[in-house]
Amino acid sequence: MILITNSLKTLNMLLLNETVPWQQDIIAVMSIISPLIIVFFGLFYYRKQKKTDVFYQIEGIRYSNKLDAYKEIWSLLIYLTIQENDKTIIIRRNNESGKSENLLRKDNATEFMKKLTETFFNSGNGIFLDSNTKKLIFEYRNQLYRLLDTDRDNTGNFIKLKNEELVKRLHQIHDELISHLRTVVTDGIVEK
């Protein structure tokens, strides 16, 4: 009987929007815990967002550095080009008999290697280049070193290139570099 009476009193209080003492305790605890839970999840989300922002900032800087490195390598292609200009390393000339021959400009080759060293090592751009670009650039550089080394006693500015296959390979490296650099920069295919 007492149980039924107490239950009816509780039901009456609930219907009349009156609270029972133990309900008041629960409401007080919930009013304290709710803001703490909201603050906790807010801080959790804030920290996660900050980490994401920092990650994207670092990726942006890395991408910018890679792009600058590829631009620097692109600027060196003026030395490797088949179209003759004042910086071209390999030029084609007619000799006395009217026969066409390939010549290597020693001054331009030396200047190219100095600029490559500056670009690749001193400026730190080499760290941002992919392995294929490095392979092609250094294959070209190694061929130039070999050619300059074999003719180091010659005091003139030109070296006759008798090996037509080597000249073709050097031009092929130039073409591969242009194609590869365009692909890397426009498509964003940069190895990590």
Rounded Cα gap, residues 147 and 158, in angstroms: 11
What is the pTM (predicted TM-score) of this model?
0.70
Rounded Cα gap, residues 83 and 90, in angstroms: 9
pLDDT-derived band of residue 192, with 50, 70 and 90 as boundaries? very low
pLDDT-derived band of residue 120, with 50, 70 and 90 as boundaries? very high
pLDDT in tens, 18-57: 555 666 677 777 778 888 888 888 888 888 888 888 889 9
Asked if pLDDT for residue 189 goes beyond 90, the answer is no
Asked if pLDDT for residue 97 goes beyond 90, the answer is no
Helices (H), the chain: 2-15, 21-80, 106-117, 131-150, 164-187
- Measured CA to CA in angstroms, residue 130 lies from 69, 126, 134, 185 at distances of 10, 9, 6, 11
More confident residue, 141 or 192: 141
Asked if pLDDT for residue 91 goes beyond 50, the answer is yes
Chain centroid, CA 77 distance in Å: 20
Asked if pLDDT for residue 81 goes beyond 80, the answer is yes
DSSP symbol at 122? I
Asked if pLDDT for residue 187 goes beyond 90, the answer is no
pLDDT on residue 6: 53
pLDDT on residue 50: 86
pLDDT-derived band of residue 184, with 50, 70 and 90 as boundaries? confident
Best CA proximity match to 161, nearest among 100, 72, 110, 81: 100
